[in-house]
A and B are shown apart, each in its own frame.
Chain A
Amino acid sequence: MDVLGEGLLEALRLLLTGDEDTWAITALTLRVSLGAVLIAVLLGVPVGSLIGLRRFRGRRMLHAVANTGMGMPPVVVGLFVTVLLWRSGPLGSLGLLYTPTAMVLAQAVIATPIVIALTAAALQQVDPDFVLQMRGLGATRLRALGALFMEARLPLLAAGTAAFGAVVSEVGAAQMVGGNIAGETRVLTTAAVLATSRGQFALAIAFGLVLLLIAFAVNLVITVAQHRQTVDR
């Protein structure tokens, strides 16, 4: 109990006094994870939309793969990306291993199936005649599609936040492809693991608190959005 209590106090002190290292790590965490989510959205929303709206050969297979990918262990992703980027690996000449770029890549691989699967689900829950009715009112294909995305905006927002939540909290891939180099590739999760293994519980708790804070802020956004949409019956 002592360790926990003292750790908490120390953690708060670290955060409130604006410990430079902590904030630098937080900033890198956000940069890496937001970058990964951006890539995942750019790839996942179009693919998820195709799965959700079109019938084509291999659609079910793709959907199944995306659904499976949602539960992909980050360590496995980290392993594959590491092998790819390894000096003697296929992409080794790029020299990306142990850089934030490599971490963005690995986390994008984790986040993309989540965005694909949740985008498909978000669009499938809209009335199947929605686009047809919008076109029947005079909408061009593009405008009808825009109306569809507006209609599904909440579940789509949830897809993005789920992806962000998954990558900001993962440690395996970040550790493997980033290497947890101080000042370069150290993010909140890898820093917390290191501090804990060194017995620096206060520091580890501080990192944990910041992670929680980020998670809370993200969920606050979506909760507020949901409540604005909820209506009294």
Chain B
Amino acid sequence: MERRKGANDQEGEKKKGLFVKKKALFLFFFLPLIGIVLLFFVLSTVNRSYIKTKVEDLVKEQLRSTAEILKTNISHYLSENYQADEIFELYSGEENIYYMALLDDEKNILGWKSQFEGYLPLSRKTLIEKESWVIDSPVGKIYNFFSSFTAPDNKTYHIYLGYSLVNLEEMMAYSKRNFIILFSVIAGIGIVFFLGIYRIQAYYMKKEKETEKEKREKERFREISAFTSGIAHEIKNPLNSLSLLLELLQKKSPGELRKDVTQGRTEVQKISRIIDLFSAALKPMNLQKEKFVLKDLIEDIFESLRRKGFSMSVDLQYSEDKEVILHADKGLMSQVFLNLLKNSLEATEKGAVRVHAKDHRKKVTITITDSGKGMSDEEKMHIFEPFSSHKKQGMGVGLYLAKKIIEAHQGRISFDSHIGQGTSFSIQITGG
């Protein structure tokens, strides 16, 4: 119980460590992205603000100049005894001038004109404070300008103008829209780019961890293999001696003991077989590759199984799209197919076990399908584990060995099984 708790704690710590690393990795990629986006935002905002101020200043300067020209013109018309209303009529085509007014030296309105009914936002309170100011209106911002001038008759007049800043606003809105689009595009590309790099990095880190774990497991397995092989070897010698002794005893023992001695010898031979299988399972693969025709190998195995009485009520069938040649260890591959076919035949009471092979660009896929009882979820979970047989007879190393052999050939083995519908094993291996 304590040990389990300790193991859980250790796993928790490990997970926590992994999470921290992941978080650090994420921040490592995410923070620069935020930094770049923020930097772009700040620079763009400062830049836009600067340009806006400059453009506004330019526009105001231009409007001031226009007002100066207007003042000169009005002064000229006044000297020719034009009335204020008559002068404003001359400027009726100026769309950008929303309103204008002429005031005397005491700031009494002499005449005015507006594009909007009764709209002349002139307040004496404002006049005291400044020469120009901007007001908001439903038709956009309006630049207000109030300035005095002296006419040729030496009288002082004031002119009040309201210019439309719609063009400036449109330009600013256009600039803002472009900024938002550009910012969104850069942020979007940045996010995709950094997330892509982050995911690639995370993938390689995960792979590295898996490789490291696999390496450690292989090392451990090698140590255990060496240790257990040694034990198996040490057991095998006394067992052989014991078997010989029992054989001698069997010959010399009286009739009433012979049956027991024979049984004892059978059991010793059984132990010997188990040790042989065990040793075979642990022995490192030493592949003797050669080219051979798959169909010939499968047909030989079919024949062998038929001879052993495996295929009494089940039909064995082989098919292929074209002739398949393998470049592999024929003996080991024979063991793989024999194990798989034996399993299929044992699981199938009647029907057929089909082997189909196809070769696509030197990638050979061999499928062994039976119409047997299928496997439960529990069986599926432990199918390739050694010594985990659900059959009455058998050691449970057949599929373990099959997987080991296929993987030694850089191939893959997988399966698909449904209760009551049968099982299908699929082997992918390089062709010859």
**Do the two chains bind?**
no
